[in-house]
Amino acid sequence: ADLLPDNSKKRTKQKKSPIKVIISNPPYSMGQKSENDNAQNIKYTNLDEKIRSTYAKNSKAVRQSALYDSYIRSFRWASDRLQSDGIIAYITNANWIESKTTDGLRKSFTEEFNKIYVFNLRGNARTSGDLRKKEGGNVFGEGTRTPITITFLVKNSTSKKNGEIFYYDIGDYLDRKQ
C-alpha cells in the first residue's frame, strides 16, 4: 500500500478474494548486481519476515541469503496466499531441490503442503565434464544455465497427511528435445 497507494483499493479487494490456483514462472533474480544495472533491490518487509520465521528458521545452513531470491519469495507469497486449500504450479530454478541453503524451504514444504510433486528437468550448465553431459540440454535451450523444475504444491484442508512427496527426474544424457 505504501509503494503504490493508487492501487491500494484494488489490492485490498484482491487480497480478500479466495485464490485456489497459482501458476507462474517466477523470476530467478538474486537482485541488483551493481549500482549501475538498473535493477534496484526492493524491500519486502512482511514477506522477508515470513521467510525468516519459516524457511530460515527451519534451516541448518549458516549462509541464508539465497532464501531471499525472488523465486523463493514467490513460493512464500503463494504459500501464504492460498490459505487452506489450493495448488501452486511453478516452473523455477531447480537449485532448491539439493541446495544446503534451502533445507528449511524443503522442510517447510513438507509441513505446509499435503502433496508435493517435483519434476526435475535438469539442464544445469554450470557443471563440467561427465556431470555436464549427464545434465543434458536445458529445456529452455540457451535461455538459461540453471537447472529447471516444475513443482506442484497441494494444500488440502480435508487431508490428514502432510508432506507426501512425488519426485521424478527425467534422467541422464537427454538433449533438449528428448
pLDDT, tens digit (0-9, with 9 covering 90-100), for 89-145: 999 988 899 889 999 999 999 999 999 999 998 876 566 666 666 666 666 656 666
DSSP annotation of 140 reads T
Place of cell 541453503: 101
The answer to whether the Cα torsion of 101, 105, 111, 114 is positive or negative is negative
Longest Cα–Cα distance of the chain, Å, equals 55
- What's the pLDDT at 31? 54
Split at pLDDT 50, 70, 90, the class of 172 is confident
Q: Band of the pLDDT at 7, cuts 50, 70, 90?
A: confident
11: pLDDT strictly greater than 80: no
Q: Model confidence over 40-50: pLDDT tens digits?
A: 567 789 999 99
Residue 59 vs residues 45, 55, 62, 104, 166: alpha-carbon distances, Å:
20, 6, 8, 4, 22
Between the CA of residue 52 and those of 2, 59, 65, 107, 109, what are the distances in Å?
22, 10, 11, 14, 15
pLDDT at 160 > cutoff 80: yes
The three three-digit cell numbers of residue 69, written as one number: 531470491
The larger pLDDT score, comparing residue 40 to residue 12, is at: 12
- What average pLDDT does range 75-95 have in this prediction? 93
Cell 531470491 belongs to residue: 69
**pLDDT value of position 23:** 95
Which has the closest alpha carbon to 105: 147, 149, 66, 56? 56
Classify burial at 162, counting beta carbons within 10 Å of its beta carbon; exposed 0-12, middle 13-18, buried 19 or more.
Answer: middle
Question: If you average pLDDT over residues 48-62, what whole number do you get?
Answer: 94
Which string of b and e fits 73-102 if b means at least 16 CB within 10 Å?
bbbbbbbeebeeebbbbbbbbbbbbeeebb
pLDDT of residue 171: 75
